[in-house]
Amino acid sequence: MVIIIIELLISGILLWFYDKSNLLILGLQPTKEKIVDFIFGFFSSAILCALGLYLIIIVIEPTLTFNPDFTFITFLNSSFWMLKSVLGEELLFRGALLYIGIKKLGLKNACILSSIIFGIYHWFSYGIFGDFSQMIYIFFLTGISGLLFAFSFALTKSIYLPVGLHLGWNLISVVIFSGGPLGKQMLIFDGGDQLDGFWTAIFYIYQITILPFATYIFLNRK
């Protein structure tokens, strides 16, 4: 939480010096519309992530077991950790800097630049710098996600939708399916086949297209 508080303070200072605005310009104040944005983002992202991971389970046929050490308290602690992680990244990449970037560079250019930086950031957060095949894979995977989050912020003028989209996907993949830095969480995979090139490509395409498509439909109807 300390990091988030620091980000808020720095964001407030940047906004004040840029155009005498404050943190409310980031759409932090809750409204009915913003809450709907968050709910759509969270549940659509969570459901689509779960469907994709379920597809992998069908293909590789691992042994899937419930972690006996995973308790409700563990779920709460892990979910809170994930919430802090998502909020920290959203305030950094889709907060004051993106707001100023849009004013300076225009909406499209700022969002593209934000997504590029987001992709590069994950080289270091994932610890893959130097592994060029993984760097390319992760750059496009996280960069496209960053582009989705950036446009979601820019078009709704609020962080509620990008936070929902980001949190829903990460919560399912990391806390439910144990696919992240927290180690073994709710479900544990053991054995199974390796994804071949065809299914790897299918799942990769699924990840970078399905959520942007769903969000496009949602925003277009708005």
CA 23 to chain CA centroid, nearest Å: 21
Per-residue pLDDT reduced to its tens digit, 132-155: 999 999 999 999 999 999 999 999
Give the integer Cα–Cα distance in Å for 9 and 121: 22
Phi, psi of 190 (to 5 degrees): -145, 130
pLDDT along the chain (222 residues), means of 10: 92 95 93 97 98 92 91 97 96 96 97 97 92 94 97 96 98 94 91 84 94 96 81
Give the integer Cα–Cα distance in Å for 171 and 77: 12
Count of other CB atoms within 10 angstroms of residue 175: 22
pLDDT at residue 145, rounded to an integer:
97
pLDDT at residue 155, rounded to an integer:
96
Per-domain residue ranges of the chain: 2-221
3-state secondary structure of 187: strand
pLDDT at residue 65, rounded to an integer:
93
Cβ atoms of residues 180 and 170 within 8 Å? yes
pLDDT at residue 189, rounded to an integer:
87
pLDDT at residue 222, rounded to an integer:
76
Sign, Cα dihedral of 109, 115, 118, 123:
negative
Cβ atoms of residues 193 and 60 within 8 Å? yes
Q: Which long-range contacts (CB under 8 A, 24 or more apart) does 133-137 make?
A: 137/204
H-helix segments, the chain: 2-19, 32-60, 72-93, 96-105, 107-125, 132-156, 160-170, 197-221
Q: In the numeric block, which tokens belong to residue 194?
A: 């390796």
3-state secondary structure of 156: helix
Q: In the numeric block, which tokens belong to residue 201?
A: 């490509």
This prediction's pTM: 0.94
